Amino acid sequence: MGMDVHAYTLHPKTTPESRRDDAYAPPGLGDPDGTLPSKWFSGTTKAELHAFLASGLDLLVVAVPLTELTRHLLAAPEFEVLSEKKTFVSNVARGPVVHTADLIDALDKGLIRGAALDVTDPEPLPDGHPLWSAKNVIVTPHVSGNSSAYTERVLAIVEKNLTRMSEGKELTNRVSRKDGY
């Protein structure tokens, strides 16, 4: 689509091998070779996160798990960093990843261009919640992961892992109990 993609991950991806992704992706989708991101950022500190957020993002798509490291990952200091480009924020992760009051404040002050929220905190949003009337916000009913191909894709992951297991290879799409996802 002609976008310059920047990625942020918990663990560094400094080599071409570490950027490859052999997890399941539907045929023709994904980035198995790890070639799309033109810049990779990683880490757990605010300084590392802010370096990523200050890298010239027009659109920030938040797609992280909810862990102790990601709870309120985006709050007032991060919206200040994003204000330089007036970045548009899309959250398809979990509501508590974004500090709701700070998001509303950033929207009201025009620090960010707007937000598309498939998830919120609280969820569901009660009647009269300030997000319903916040400037430049689209709220969807937590459906970004829905797909008519969901069952087909789950079965494809199972099939891929059965094949990998029979070949003595490591399973794909594994959960890291240490990282919490």
Sorted by where each begins, the domain ranges of the chain are 5-146, 147-172
pLDDT tens digits, 55-109: 999 999 999 999 999 999 999 999 999 999 999 999 999 999 999 999 999 999 9
pLDDT band at 111; cut points 50, 70, 90: very high
pLDDT more than 70, % of the chain: 100
pLDDT band at 141; cut points 50, 70, 90: very high
**At residue 145, does pLDDT exceed 90?**
no
Q: Which residues are catalytic?
A: 94, 123, 142
Domain 5-146 coded CATH 3.40.50.720 = yes
> Contact 45/61 with Cβ under 8 angstroms?
no
**At residue 13, does pLDDT exceed 90?**
yes
More confident residue, 22 or 92: 92
Query: What does pTM read for this prediction?
Result: 0.90
Give yes or no for a cis peptide into 124 (omega within 30° of 0).
yes
Cα 153 to Cα 27, 118, 147, 157: the distances in Å are: 10, 21, 9, 6
**At residue 27, does pLDDT exceed 90?**
no
Closest CA to 120 of 147, 87, 97: 97
